[in-house]
Structure 1
Amino acid sequence: MPDDSAAHAAVSTDVAIIGAGPTGLFAVFECGMLRMKCVVIDTLEAIGGQCAALYPEKPIYDIPGYPAIAGADLVAKLEQQAEPFAPIYLLGRRVDSLAQMQEGGFELRTSKDEVVRAKAVIVAAGAGAFGPNRPPLNDLPAYEASGAVRYMVARREELRGKRVVIAGGGDSAVDWALSLKDIAKRVTVVHRRPKFRAAPESVAQMEAAAERGEIDLAIPYQLHALHGEGGELSHVELATLKGEKRMVPADHLLAFFGLSMELGPIANWGLGLERSHVVVNPATCATSIPGIHAIGDIATYQGKLKLILQGFSEAAMAAHAIHPQVFPGEALHFEYSTTKGVPAE
């Protein structure tokens, strides 16, 4: 499990990795194999990036060695692979500023006013900083703080035996309805119209489950209000455009209205940008600022493919390019992992 127990003090590390998606997680492993310690910072409350937030149950078919693997399972494997190197995860916060220090390296400040000092930086922020589109409901922060209202699910076992209302009409809403119908006490899907934007096969499965009584479909309704005390949810109030209202007993509301994505503060760091992407040297993933490298979907160069597997390759190239900055004057005697092995936990 990610541990941010060191989050409230200034942290010094070899490499600060911005982004805890698959590419950022694999960068922890690649840096670790070269004896470089990492701090990983992400705006989401859990690791995994878009894999965890958007399609945790969807199979991915182009990961070498896995004919098919669900997004959540891939994230779990990457977390396990990075674990021997003891990364520090600072989750649920944004990197607000990045400055070069006179003595070398960089100082990063987060939205929780934490300071991270690093000898090098890897930007693995995917499409940039992103967060959930929140429904306009009263008292929402209190329910978010208690976990009654969520925008992603890290582990579905947390919802076993719970009454869950899912709002949205895309893949995330439909996938989680199907995933939770045998886990939760009751699942109610709320959507403003009968047509869903999810994969047709998944929608058909959900509608069949509804016909069997395994899922409740509240259509055409929208979220209207939350009811409960002290941040503990008891009911979700729904309403139609005609003003018809319905109360649904609920312990949790999962709101899947998509993610708002933007470069955020990264746009102001002086990196070479091209159409909201960071231009890098394809051989090293170095940006226009020495010591800062960009990998994954946020990086661009001629011939770039937006594939997770290419991000993995970029993580390896960036780690090897950073090694001389972390260990100046030390020759890198690269060994294959089959001969070098992985440090014991």
Structure 2
Amino acid sequence: MSDTHTTDVLIVGAGPVGLFAIFQCGMLGMRCHVVDALDAAGGQCTALYPEKPIYDIPGYPRIEAGALVDELVAQAAPFEPVYHLGQQVVALEKQAGGGFLAATNAGARIAARAVIVAAGAGAFGPNRPPLNDLETFEATGAVRYFVTRRADFAGKRVVVAGGGDSAVDWAVSLAEVAAHVAIVHRRDKFRAAPEMVSRLRGLAEAGKVEMVVPFQLSRLEGENGTLDTVIVKDLAGEERRLVADVLLPFYGLAMTLGPIADWGLGLERNHVLIDQATAETNVPGIFAVGDIATYPHKLKLILTGFAEAASAAHAIHPLVHPGEALHFEYSTTKGVPGAA
């Protein structure tokens, strides 16, 4: 027998932006149900890198991803959201009387006046390098694509591969605990936040990180899944041998929208097109926020997603409370339920 619910807003995705959308909707008097395929709230921040430091959240000079999720869950809690975790929305139908009816793969049915898609990168998995015996080293943890506990790398010789934010951030962070960190990239220019690149180069000058550029991964050596050497090759074919216990290839995530692709939304390169002012998609009543949403010149930052969540909540208010004037008040004057 199915489990049926009625709510004001259905939020698809319980990552940081989805969690902040609960707060924004709650401040405007709207109840939320939240569906996420993962077993815990937090999205990639919880599943992939809970200990990764984040530096661009206003008010937090540095906060670990898992701690940020904890704060967002606490911020949303006064509005009593209902979480449907470990589930995926597999069908979404527009109702004749307005609103939508969603069905999950666990048998839940959720009727809502509006939908906010906050699914982050959608269904994701790592882009894997084409290396010999990769599966053997993956099985033992000698090759990993995510860092969930920095302590796992204490005293290890770590090779980080890639030139984006994840590669640079983790090379900087793991230099604090690992015995040795080398970062391999095919060119000397990195596609990461300038401040973090500056910190990486400072660590390299201090001898705390080895910069291996311009090189690319070539092959792995070791026995029975125990890694001992990462061989890299430059553009001329010259090889270098890097002694290593662990390889962390950060070549991005392969993203698929899954069932969201069948909802009739306007798409651009696996992202959902939205009106920047309201976060509404081409389907009235469906909004998208965070990494899954796109528009010209968008900055992919968590704080951008937070702003989109606020815009979506304000645009949804007349759908949930038709004819009711919205007298917007700042949180400093309005407060939140249960606040002293």
Quickly name the TM-score band, shorter chain normalised: 0.5 to 0.7
Q: In structure 1, how many angstroms separate the alpha carbons of the residues matched to 2:233 and 2:18?
A: 42
- State whether structure 2 residue 60 is matched by structure 1 residue 60: no
Equivalent residue in structure 1 for 2:72, among 63, 78, 100: 78
- Percent identity, please: 45
Stretches of structure 1 lacking an aligned partner (at least 5 in a row): 1-8, 326-330
Q: Name the residue aligned to 1:6.
A: none
Q: Name the residue aligned to 1:4.
A: none
What does residue range 202-221 of structure 1 map to in structure 2 within 5 Å? 202-219=196-213, 220-221=215-216
Change beyond 3 A, Cα 1:270–1:341 = same
Equivalent residue in structure 1 for 2:178, among 184, 200, 217: 184
Q: Does the CA contact (< 8 Å) of 1:16 and 1:116 recur in 2?
A: no
Structure 1 position 210, deviation (Å): 3.2
* TM-score normalised to structure 2 length: 0.67
Matched residues, number: 318
Q: Name the residue aligned to 1:164.
A: 158
Q: Name the residue aligned to 1:105.
A: 101
Q: In structure 2, how many angstroms separate the alpha carbons of the residues matched to 1:265 and 1:117?
A: 16
Q: Name the residue aligned to 1:317.
A: 314
Q: Name the residue aligned to 2:220.
A: 225
Q: Secondary structure at the match of 2:230?
A: strand
Q: Does the CA contact (< 8 Å) of 2:30 and 2:317 recur in 1?
A: no
Structure 1 position 181, deviation (Å): 0.9
What does residue range 105-254 of structure 1 map to in structure 2 within 5 Å? 105-109=101-105, 114-120=106-112, 121-126=115-120, 130-138=124-132, 140=134, 148-199=142-193, 202-219=196-213, 220-225=215-220, 227=222, 229=224, 233-240=226-233, 242=237, 244=239, 246=241, 248-250=243-245, 252-254=246-248
Equivalent residue in structure 1 for 2:272, among 252, 268, 277: 277
* Paired letter, 2:72: L
Structure 1 position 196, deviation (Å): 3.6
Q: In structure 2, how many angstroms separate the alpha carbons of the residues matched to 1:115 and 1:336?
A: 39
Structure 1 position 163, deviation (Å): 3.8
Q: Does the CA contact (< 8 Å) of 1:44 and 1:131 recur in 2?
A: no
Structure 1 position 153, deviation (Å): 3.2
Q: In structure 1, how many angstroms separate the alpha carbons of the residues matched to 2:41 and 2:157?
A: 22
Q: Secondary structure at the match of 2:130?
A: coil
Q: Name the residue aligned to 1:47.
A: 42
* Paired letter, 1:166: V
* Paired letter, 1:171: D
**CA RMSD after TM alignment:** 4.9
Q: Does the CA contact (< 8 Å) of 2:161 and 2:183 recur in 1?
A: yes
Equivalent residue in structure 1 for 2:336, among 337, 341, 345: 341
Q: Secondary structure at the match of 2:71?
A: helix
Q: Name the residue aligned to 1:268.
A: 262
Q: Does the CA contact (< 8 Å) of 1:223 and 1:239 recur in 2?
A: yes
